[in-house]
Amino acid sequence: MNALACLDLDRGTGEELSLYTTMEPCLMCASTIVMVRIGQVHYAVADPMFEGLHEFLTGYPYCAERIPRRYGPLDGPMSVFAGLLPLIFNMTWTPQGRWMRLHRSLFPDHHRVASDMISSRRLAGLAAQGSTVSEAIEEVWEELVSLLRPST
């Protein structure tokens, strides 16, 4: 929402703009996207907390003509990485919140890997060294791939 608030649209719309985000927009972000009339939204991972939100908003006449074209979610390790980023953030910000409880119940293996990444400070250490996103992904690639395999 902060990025959208910074747009200088000169009373125009954002229909020619594309938004790229790790996680499918939540209710507040989706509503802001509709208000600004962003033309396209690309997201890497679905958010189970807001499953069905897009379809719900299309039921309102005001929103129906403003709904952006959506692309996502991604498949494969990049989707897992994109999902781990907000998970790690929420584990430190609201560890007992509703989103965390839902995510923990649906994706316990992701929760375990995110907890390990926090306690090991691997990603924080890479950030402190000025590493690139590509280097961070390379560092955790095996964990990302392991989360794509069915649990035994």
User: With bands split at pLDDT 50, 70 and 90, how would you rate the model's confidence at 152?
Assistant: low
The reported pLDDT for the residue numbered 151 is: 64
Assess whether 39 and 86 both reside in one domain. Answer: no
Do the domain assignments include residue 119?
yes
pLDDT in tens, 62-109: 999 999 999 999 999 999 999 999 999 999 999 999 999 999 999 999
Do the domain assignments include residue 129?
yes
Mean pLDDT over 4-21 rounds to 86
This prediction has a pTM of: 0.85
**Of 22, 51, 71, which marks where a domain is finished?**
71
Domain enclosing residue 88, as ranges? 77-146
**Of 18, 50, 71, which marks where a domain is finished?**
71
Cα first-last separation, the chain:
40
